[in-house]
Amino acid sequence: MLIVMHHSATDEQLKSVTAAVEAMGLIAEPIPGSLRTAIGVLGNQGYVDDTSIRELPGVREVIHVSKPYKLVSRDFHPVSSVVDAGGVKFGDGHPPVLIAGPCTVESEEQMIAAARLVKKNGAQMLRGGAFKPRTGPHTFQGLGVEGLKLLRQAGDAEGLPVITEVMRIEQLETICRYADVLQVGARNMQNFDLLKEVGRSGHPVLLKRGMSSTIEEFLSAAEYIVAEGNSRVILCERGIRTFEQATRNTLDLSIVPLVRELSHLPIVVDPSHATGRRNLVGPMAKAAIVVGAHGIMIEVHPDPDRALCDGAQSLTPDGFGKLAVELKRLQSFLETL
Amino acid sequence: MLIVMHHSATDEQLKSVTAAVEAMGLIAEPIPGSLRTAIGVLGNQGYVDDTSIRELPGVREVIHVSKPYKLVSRDFHPVSSVVDAGGVKFGDGHPPVLIAGPCTVESEEQMIAAARLVKKNGAQMLRGGAFKPRTGPHTFQGLGVEGLKLLRQAGDAEGLPVITEVMRIEQLETICRYADVLQVGARNMQNFDLLKEVGRSGHPVLLKRGMSSTIEEFLSAAEYIVAEGNSRVILCERGIRTFEQATRNTLDLSIVPLVRELSHLPIVVDPSHATGRRNLVGPMAKAAIVVGAHGIMIEVHPDPDRALCDGAQSLTPDGFGKLAVELKRLQSFLETL
Amino acid sequence: MLIVMHHSATDEQLKSVTAAVEAMGLIAEPIPGSLRTAIGVLGNQGYVDDTSIRELPGVREVIHVSKPYKLVSRDFHPVSSVVDAGGVKFGDGHPPVLIAGPCTVESEEQMIAAARLVKKNGAQMLRGGAFKPRTGPHTFQGLGVEGLKLLRQAGDAEGLPVITEVMRIEQLETICRYADVLQVGARNMQNFDLLKEVGRSGHPVLLKRGMSSTIEEFLSAAEYIVAEGNSRVILCERGIRTFEQATRNTLDLSIVPLVRELSHLPIVVDPSHATGRRNLVGPMAKAAIVVGAHGIMIEVHPDPDRALCDGAQSLTPDGFGKLAVELKRLQSFLETL
Amino acid sequence: MLIVMHHSATDEQLKSVTAAVEAMGLIAEPIPGSLRTAIGVLGNQGYVDDTSIRELPGVREVIHVSKPYKLVSRDFHPVSSVVDAGGVKFGDGHPPVLIAGPCTVESEEQMIAAARLVKKNGAQMLRGGAFKPRTGPHTFQGLGVEGLKLLRQAGDAEGLPVITEVMRIEQLETICRYADVLQVGARNMQNFDLLKEVGRSGHPVLLKRGMSSTIEEFLSAAEYIVAEGNSRVILCERGIRTFEQATRNTLDLSIVPLVRELSHLPIVVDPSHATGRRNLVGPMAKAAIVVGAHGIMIEVHPDPDRALCDGAQSLTPDGFGKLAVELKRLQSFLETL
């Protein structure tokens, strides 16, 4: 931590800041500059709460060097983690995993068709929402437990592990019974109690980046899960909010190589929610593979024009089949690069 | 709803869109333009799910006229609501309510001193966090139920109703026992299950705007609570995330007159979290009164330099006393304007 | 400047960073921490270009303590500046200046009516655009030099100094002949060549904040003007871009007390462009006075429903008259606070 | 255009809006809904200025269907344009163009070395800044005309066309003498006078997207150039501002397929400025090729650790050589996909 003093700070103010640092059991090292003095703080084991420092007289700014996350950081865990989720492996040394399925579980027929489609095209995991977060209360909110059963049944029929979103702690036990992987959605990325319980469950988790969160906040959210002893966390970039109105969100692909540098956790990309437009899903999925994503999560619907939710961003069966082939060929090519 | 067709859409495409609209039980009225045709959709009772329309061949764009909220809107409820929360009234015709107290409940001594300070300076409600949302898990997370008891006890000692944040559904029953008003924080504004349960509780709620949410999303979140039969909702602007790094968030005061136009619910302003800097709290609190806020929520600490949390934005006892007087005088003046 | 080394940086890397700092004529002071070493850089007279440091092996981050601006900063010029612009004074110790007029100069009749309205209600400066920046080329772009003449003539008729926007360097000489104050618009805040020439002109300047600029960038833009020897710069907050669609921009009032702390230059507020909605202009103008703005710039049109540009945000003559009285009464009240 | 009336709008208000539309020579077609009436506006030939409508009593919202751009749109020009810039072709049917070179022209030696490097690795165009936009005035601003000469000389030595940034109209004639392609930077994307003059020059232009601009604004800026009769415009995505602090900007790759759908103009990607970090340039450049960019613009420096500007994002000669080979191989592979 670095404490930058005001240009006009007095010696007395400098002394009282030094004293406050030392009262925290830390070491204060003054660094006099031509215009102002800064005070380096040494001896801390991690992020320091600067509350008692920040507004002392004469202090202009407090600059943090340590990050609020630690367990998920590559500094503390240099070797890349491989997460086993329902028998499927996410991480370095494994080809990118293709997760696919409809936005929402709608019916047995739909899920059976979806699972067949997913399996036939070589995807390794089936997705489908049973509990749906919707901006307003007057929209379809998902089939609930019935949806979970249909998802499980469809996955079992094709031998596919399944992933579904958990929105509240009380659902956790039930969802863990039916799903191989828990998804925590963007709106819940800072629902810290949910993160803790998901951590305690020990179940593999796919954590989506919050709609306007920074990488630091994203990794700090993952830290909540890992701090409970659950290191089976898969990060997921799904687009961030920007001023652009032409796409649903803006997919931030540069986060992939950056997270691979800062953290040992695997990261996958969801181009369907990010773009919200069917014709952008393919190009962005391929780009995600190229930047090093450990997996791709795609919405596909046996009949997207009749989907109850997000049909506009769901691929058709044909479109999905074509993309799955292209992703596989691209991946093979990249291995030769 | 308005469906805008592509420049080059064929008659057949137009027909199939018309058919899809009619299949939803609605009326399609074509509006031919010089460059393209649009189709007006009539007969809906509220927001229409456009999933089965948006990606039909020939469709360029779907424009919504209805909003995803209804119960909280002034269109449907033209008279301003007055919310009674622990005996204090928020809404038109009542002077703005001053809510004050520390960010976090730390000790009996601190809370007793805080409550006395709050009461003495004429504030009408005591705030204090027992469960704290923190970006990283390695920071102080609040005293929990013990904190609730200290808050209640301090409020009772001074005859002040109390408000505290609820972060998870399981805490709800307990918190309802101790607190007069439930606060839903910015990070949970789209924790829809929490909103529903808070709605079912029937308890007065102060709902904070999400960190990067629009007014439409904010009012839709309130709609979740009201849709469960609980209309005692107080909205709270607490700053939104922008590129500015010099303040914690950017307080959006224009939302106050705008919400007063769009909704019948009362709205209060929290300048402490919005700015994150003690010396900006006073000016922004006064500005909030001027734009018509129904209340102000301020952090004050008996000894801010020793606060466990957010000391940098907490007012000192003296600063708070001075501001409380100024707010009252300003309010009296505004009534003569 | 503080150079933060990687956790795993070697002694050799540390040495070569130290050498690079010393090659710049500066002093490197290592600050060993428990997890990593940082290097304090001393001896610089201002902002240091970190290009040759930032990507040296072992460097994780470079943190700047100095700001890229200096002349506009209160550190270097502690006394508040008062800017005399066409005989009107902006700054501490002077009541806030009311600048008013139409968005665009349209006709002699309109300008004469506008100037009369502005004068009658006690405003001190007349505004009107002759050259208009418009998002697309197929919209009215202003009357040009003819507009300048009408503006000047209307100002002279009522004894009001006038302000108008300059968009290109070639216009500068002409505009300086007709206008008392040059306005640099938000889209040109980082048109550095224009800033330099405006600086060289020596004419008073009102510099609008860029649409998504930070305070640091805003003050750095002002630095360009002052660095050319022209210190008659008035800053102007006019709203920043956020996700909110319900208002044109989001007026950031907290910048006013913050700029007053960081800089000696005066700052005014434009609530018309910021909100884009007539009924929000009044509340936000009053709030701007309360937070300490040195002036308010308001759009008023003799007949806003027939305005060629931005009529929706222009006040009517009656609305303006009422607001002008309220602002004056509010200002008198604030002096007693 | 669609005019949405308030829930409570009276018949009289409806009539006066209808009259206002007809006064503009357009047709008003009422669309009565269950809750409110909307009015479709027909007969316009493009974007309608809504000033005289938006604030009429009873109007709640005005929704635009037409876009502010036309000439650059694919609706009006369905065939993709190929832009010939200094003999190099950008557009469909041509392999992506590799533009490379240093951020800034520093010396003859540096430029000769850079040009050799660029040529040797198969890039087709040389970049280098002679006039540099810098946030603060106290930083190196470029060599000016001397820099232009060095750039031209280095390009000629290797038979490479050259591109450089133009920041002000007075430089235009000189720059046109030395450079094959004019670059308009992100900060000047809405410097409309510069756009017009660049349009009049008839010279090929590479137009960078503004830091927080939408696609609509970006295409509208290009419209300014094309409206002057210059259709040799190459669009360039260079990252937009988001909350993320870990990268300089956020590269928005989804704009590439989207612009290809909305416009006939070619689009290239600049991963160097977008990310600001050398190790992200390669992955993002490859991803840009995959999503269909018509070119890539990359910063490379013979000795990046000694660069006067943006060294941290410049590739080393070795890194560039490796990337150039990979891009070529990737492109060959994509042609087989």
- Give the Cα separation of D147 and B273 in Å (integer): 49
Q: Tell me the mean pLDDT in the region D12-37.
A: 82
Residue D184 has phi, psi (to 5 degrees) of: -105, 120
Collect all residues of chain A within an 8 Å Cβ-Cβ radius of residue B278.
55
Amino acid code (one letter) for A309: C
Mean pLDDT value across chain C: 91
- Give the Cα separation of D140 and D131 in Å (integer): 10
- Give the Cα separation of B129 and B133 in Å (integer): 9
Domains of chain C: 2-63 (3.30.70.1140), 83-336 (3.20.20.70)
Q: Tell me the mean pLDDT in the region C204-222.
A: 95
A310-319, C283-292, C316-325: least confident range: A310-319
**Which run of H or of E encompasses B87?**
none
- Helix and strand tally (H, E) in chain C? 11, 14
pLDDT > 80? residue B311:
no
A2 closest CB neighbour out of C6, C42, C63: C63
Residue B313 in contact with partner chain C when CB distance is under 8 A: no
Nearest CA-CA distance, residue B296 and chain C, Å: 15
Question: Which of C296, C299, C334 has the alpha carbon at shortest distance from C320?
Answer: C299
Collect all residues of chain C within an 8 Å Cβ-Cβ radius of residue A7.
75
- Give the Cα separation of C115 and A260 in Å (integer): 62
- Give the Cα separation of D163 and D180 in Å (integer): 6
Whether residues A246 and D214 touch (CB distance < 8 A) is answered with yes
pLDDT in tens, C155-171: 999 999 999 999 989 89
Residue B34: what pLDDT? 64
| Residue D139 CB neighbours (<10 A) | 15
Residue D1: what pLDDT? 77
Asked if residue C235 lies in contact with residue C207, where contact means CB atoms within 8 angstroms, the answer is yes
- Give the Cα separation of C56 and C54 in Å (integer): 6
Please list the residues that pair with A42 across neighbouring strands.
A27
Helix axis angle, B108-120 to B145-158, nearest 10°:
40
Helix axis angle, A255-262 to D278-290, nearest 10°:
140
Nearest CA-CA distance, residue A227 and chain B, Å: 7
Collect all residues of chain D within an 8 Å Cβ-Cβ radius of residue A247.
254, 258
- Give the Cα separation of B261 and B92 in Å (integer): 12
Task: Quote helix, strand, coil % in chain B, to nearest 5.
Answer: 40, 20, 40
D279 closest CB neighbour out of A214, A251, A257: A257
Residue D17 in contact with partner chain C when CB distance is under 8 A: no
B17-26, B90-99, B207-216: least confident range: B17-26
DSSP collapsed to 3 states, chain D: CEEEECCCCCHHHHHHHHHHHHHCCCEEEEEECCCCEEEEEECCCCCCCCHHHHCCCCEEEEECCCCCCCCCECCCCCCCCCEEECCEEECCCCCCEEEEECCECCCHHHHHHHHHHHHHCCCCEEECECCCCCCCCCCCCCCCHHHHHHHHHHHHHHCCCEEEECCCHHHHHHHHHHCCEEEECHHHCCCHHHHHHHHHHCCCEEEECCCCCCHHHHHHHHHHHHHCCCCCEEEEECCECCCCCCCCCECCCCHHHHHHHHECCCEEECHHHHHCCHHHHHHHHHHHHHCCCCEEEEEECCCHHHCCCCHHHCECHHHHHHHHHHHHHHHHHHHHC
- Give the Cα separation of A261 and A75 in Å (integer): 10
| Residue B99 CB neighbours (<10 A) | 30
C252 closest CB neighbour out of B250, B279, B292: B250
D222: Cα within 13 Å, side-chain hemisphere: 31
- How many CB contacts within 8 angstroms connect chain C with chain D? 129
DSSP annotation string for C85-136: ETTEEESTTSPPEEEEE-SB---HHHHHHHHHHHHHTT--EEE-BSS---SS
* ipTM (interface predicted TM): 0.89
Decide: helix, strand or coil at residue C10.
Answer: coil
Give me C299's structure tokens.
């759009």
Asked if residue D312 lies in contact with residue D306, where contact means CB atoms within 8 angstroms, the answer is no
Residue C39 has phi, psi (to 5 degrees) of: -125, 115
Collect all residues of chain B within an 8 Å Cβ-Cβ radius of residue A135.
68, 190, 217, 220
Whether residues D220 and C135 touch (CB distance < 8 A) is answered with yes
**B156-160 contacts at long range (C-beta below 8 A, 24 or more positions apart):** B157/B112, B157/B115, B157/B116, B158/B115, B158/B116, B158/B118, B158/B119, B158/B126, B159/B119, B160/B115, B160/B118, B160/B119, B160/B123, B160/B124, B160/B125, B160/B126
DSSP code of B47? P
Residue A45: what pLDDT? 67
D2 closest CB neighbour out of B42, B63, B75: B63
pLDDT in tens, B28-82: 887 776 667 888 787 776 667 777 787 788 888 887 777 788 899 988 889 999 9
Residue A212 in contact with partner chain B when CB distance is under 8 A: yes
Residues 6+ apart with CB under 8 A from D236: D183, D206, D207, D208, D209, D267, D268, D269, D270, D297
Q: Which of D217, D252, D254, D289 to mutate to test the interface with A (most CBs of A within 10 A)?
A: D254
Q: How confident is the model at residue D331 (pLDDT cuts 50, 70, 90)?
A: very high
Chain D 160-189, CB below 8 Å of chain B: which residues?
none
DSSP annotation string for A253-280: TTHHHHHHHHBSS-EEE-HHHHH--HHH
Collect all residues of chain C within an 8 Å Cβ-Cβ radius of residue D250.
none
pLDDT in tens, D41-91: 877 766 677 777 877 888 888 877 777 888 999 988 899 999 999 999 999
Whether residues C215 and B246 touch (CB distance < 8 A) is answered with yes
Chain D 218-237, CB below 8 Å of chain C: which residues?
220, 223-224, 227
Whether residues A283 and D242 touch (CB distance < 8 A) is answered with no
Nearest CA-CA distance, residue C109 and chain B, Å: 33
pLDDT > 80? residue C306:
no
- Give the Cα separation of C125 and C115 in Å (integer): 9
Touching subunits of B (3+ CB pairs, under 8 Å) are A, C, D
Collect all residues of chain C within an 8 Å Cβ-Cβ radius of residue D227.
137-138
Whether residues B292 and C280 touch (CB distance < 8 A) is answered with no
Whether residues C65 and A4 touch (CB distance < 8 A) is answered with yes
- Cβ burial of A63 (10 Å; 0-12, 13-18, 19+) is middle
First vs last Cα of chain D: how many Å apart? 42
Please list the residues that pair with A299 across neighbouring strands.
A101
Residue C36: what pLDDT? 74
Residues 6+ apart with CB under 8 A from A173: none
Closest B-chain CA to C328: B337
Q: Which of B191, B213, B230 to mutate to test the interface with A (most CBs of A within 10 A)?
A: B191
Q: Which of A69, A244, A245 to mutate to test the interface with D (most CBs of D within 10 A)?
A: A244
- How many CB contacts within 8 angstroms connect chain A with chain D? 120
Chain A 76-95, CB below 8 Å of chain B: which residues?
none
Collect all residues of chain A within an 8 Å Cβ-Cβ radius of residue B55.
278, 304-305, 311-312
Task: Quote helix, strand, coil % in chain C, to nearest 5.
Answer: 40, 20, 40
| Residue D261 CB neighbours (<10 A) | 12
Q: Tell me the mean pLDDT in the region C249-259.
A: 95
Q: How confident is the model at residue C34 (pLDDT cuts 50, 70, 90)?
A: low
Whether residues D31 and B36 touch (CB distance < 8 A) is answered with no
Whether residues B133 and A192 touch (CB distance < 8 A) is answered with yes
Closest D-chain CA to A262: D246
pLDDT > 90? residue B107:
yes
B51 closest CB neighbour out of A211, A212, A307: A307
CA angle B203, A141, B220 (to 5 degrees): 50
Touching subunits of C (3+ CB pairs, under 8 Å) are A, B, D
Chain A 293-312, CB below 8 Å of chain B: which residues?
304-312
Q: Tell me the mean pLDDT in the region D119-130.
A: 97
- How many CB contacts within 8 angstroms connect chain B with chain D? 66
Closest A-chain CA to B184: A191
DSSP annotation string for C279-333: HHHHHHHHHHHHTT-SEEEEEB-SSGGG-SS-GGGPBPHHHHHHHHHHHHHHHHH
Could you tell me the pTM of the whole model? 0.87
A163-177, C312-326, D207-221, D310-324: least confident range: D310-324
Nearest CA-CA distance, residue C139 and chain A, Å: 22
pLDDT > 80? residue D33:
no
Whether residues C40 and A38 touch (CB distance < 8 A) is answered with yes
pLDDT in tens, C128-156: 999 988 877 877 788 999 999 999 999 99
A290-294, B22-26, C18-22, C61-65: least confident range: C61-65
DSSP code of C223? H
Asked if residue B67 lies in contact with residue B79, where contact means CB atoms within 8 angstroms, the answer is no
Whether residues C291 and B284 touch (CB distance < 8 A) is answered with yes
**pLDDT under 70 in chain A at which residues?**
33-35, 45-47, 309-311
| Residue C22 CB neighbours (<10 A) | 13
Closest A-chain CA to D332: A333
- Give the Cα separation of D55 and D45 in Å (integer): 23
Question: Which of B152, B140, B143, B141 has the alpha carbon at shortest distance from B112?
Answer: B152
Collect all residues of chain C within an 8 Å Cβ-Cβ radius of residue A36.
65, 75
Between the alpha carbon of residue D228 and those of residues C140, D186, D215, D235, the distances in Å are 16, 20, 21, 17
Whether residues A47 and B187 touch (CB distance < 8 A) is answered with no
D47 closest CB neighbour out of C136, C223, C308: C136
Residue D195: what pLDDT? 96
Chain B 238-257, CB below 8 Å of chain C: which residues?
240, 242-247, 250-257
Torsion D206-D212-D216-D221 (CA) sign: negative
Touching subunits of A (3+ CB pairs, under 8 Å) are B, C, D
First vs last Cα of chain B: how many Å apart? 42
Residues 6+ apart with CB under 8 A from B111: B102, B105, B128, B150, B151, B153, B154
Residue B62: what pLDDT? 83
- Give the Cα separation of A97 and D311 in Å (integer): 36
Residue B243: what pLDDT? 84
Amino acid code (one letter) for A162: V
Q: How confident is the model at residue C200 (pLDDT cuts 50, 70, 90)?
A: very high
- The residue behind tokens 């270009």 is C49
Amino acid code (one letter) for D78: P
Q: Tell me the mean pLDDT in the region D200-223.
A: 95
Mean pLDDT value across chain D: 91
Please list the residues that pair with D240 across neighbouring strands.
D250
